[in-house]
Structure 1
Amino acid sequence: MSETSGAGILPCQSLEALIASEAIAADRPFDPDQVQPASLDLRLGVRAWRVRASFLPRPGRTVADRLADVMMHEIDLSAGAVLERGCVYIAELQERLALPKGVSARANPKSSTGRVDVFVRLLTDHQPAFDDVADGYRGPAFVEIAPQTFPVLVRAGTRLNQLRLKRGDPPRLATLSVGVDLESEAVAGFRARRHAGVVDMDRVGGHDPRDFWEPLTPRRGELLLDPGEFYILASREAVEIPVLQAAEMTPIDPSVGEFRVHYAGFFDPGFGAAEAGATGSRGVLEVRSHETPFLLEHGQTVARLVFEPLTERPSRLYGEGGSHYQRQGLKLSKHFRPWS
């Protein structure tokens, strides 16, 4: 079976066709590895703005209109700039959209962005919701950036989020509960250190993890989440995404626990799949407790994976040609050297 019928997520060859037709365009050439099996990495532009508050453009207003109300000062990203934790920024993206009728999109932070606790959300004109791009949207795109734990160094071309395009309204094929692993490793997780240094978001393997993270060895399969702290944990279950599907990990609802899991939620087709050279990679969980301490137990459900069909089989799968996160267990973001 090579195709699915009707609505679905667009695979990489469809994204490349949209780029060729300039339905997705940019002022500079696209990077060779920018198109993923079922998503497109988005690149920061030259300009960003420190703002005093997050916002949404209501229908009939543009992001630029609304930006004028909350802007504090402009930042030039051409040579790089440090974005401080606890502050909110808006940056223009290099990509602009002219989507065909019947095609909409949804954005999510990249895995490496979520794993350093940078809160990222897409903004488009006239859209009163973060991360959703309306059917047939034509216009620019912006990203809200709010570092929560570490200050980060970014520059024009840095990729913090990604876009998934879809035709119609794809059905949910399945929902998989994801539990947390607090037993299988000598180090079962990491807690972010407060007052650590700057993370360069384009520097792969260039940071000593011990300067930024504290290893955790839970007792009796339990971990007490402290309010306001940020944790990296792993799923108990191996995750496998079929080649004709994509998945999104959704934040947990309050009925299961007062914490948020997984700021970066896209899984491309082939993640953890034998056909892509892997056998069930673990999902890495980015966890932040809310107002109260919460005692997490081994195997406890912390998130859910929602699967949707692709319109056709992608011409390449996740992990083919190399990946930082295929076959992963508990793993920090690509910015850090392996823990030893």
Structure 2
Amino acid sequence: MSRLSRRRFLSLGIGAVAVLLAAAPVPGLRRPLLVVVGSELEASLRQIEPLFETRHGDIDLRWRVLGAQDMINASIDGGPERPRVLIPSNRDQLESYAGAVQARGEGPAFRGSPQPIARTLLVAVAWPERAKRLFPDGRFSWERLRAAARAGRWQAIGGPPAWGSIDLRMTDPLRSNSGQLTLALWARDQPGSEAVALLKRAIYRPARSTDILLSEFVSGGPNQGDLAFVYEAPALQRQGEAEGRWPGGYRMLFPDPTMETVLAAGVRRGEGQGREADGSRFVAFLLGAEGRAVLNRHGFRDAAGQGGSPAGDRVRRLPPPSPGALEDLLRQWQSVP
């Protein structure tokens, strides 16, 4: 090869490298985008993050997990550190946030309307022997569960004395949506505050989030509760883990009626980490084929209700409690020592 040819070859190589470097994201120059989600989406976001960043190499996706109420509080009071995209476990919380923002005279809270991205149901998971004793016919019954809670101990309903007290698990309704749905269903058609007091006495250590609750339930087995109220999607995700730790794993039971929660993504206006346009790109990704596929693999039903466990298709679904009804239930919960 002549000296001139070598120079041309070297120049072409340098030029090609320069083009590649110009096209690749430069560390430190990628635009941050902060998204906050409920704990039920944590496993999904771990897979979605690299997929989204592959499609949008100029965006550095960052995400945090917060309980529903903590998420709203952080979005109102966080200043420039506030998240750009909110995905709580219940879209009603986005409406509450929008109302709070407008009450402060700050104008529209979101860039466009929040978009539903997935649905999931409130379900119960129980250890097989406990489930068989509670529900001999194999079907969940609110009436039988309330009766067991009133009895207080397994021996009182025919169980072995060694099982001790009947311990139910749920998340803290003052912080978490799944706990609020559990409280509303438990107290449905029950007069006064007695039903709320009965539930609170039967609950063993309310958890901060659904993911923490399921993690404790699976790792500790029957020592960490007999039956827990969680979402269908994470319950499906952790079935294999439960089977690996405990013979037979846990049984997933579908209350009838239950409540369905709709997860929606809202792109906040105003100060926050990330551009509004980038937030919209992330929501569009969740609604696209790749985003929907990840959510479906993790047990979520799509925005139209398709997916999840077939057993959940047969139960009645009630809407979540109204803000006024929920406020009254939470007040009763707090009043119980």
- TM, length-normalised to structure 1: 0.22
Larger radius of gyration: 2
**Higher strand residue share:** 1
Q: Relative contact order, CA 8 A, sep 6+: which one is greater?
A: 2
Higher helix share: 2
**TM-score, normalised on structure 2?**
0.22
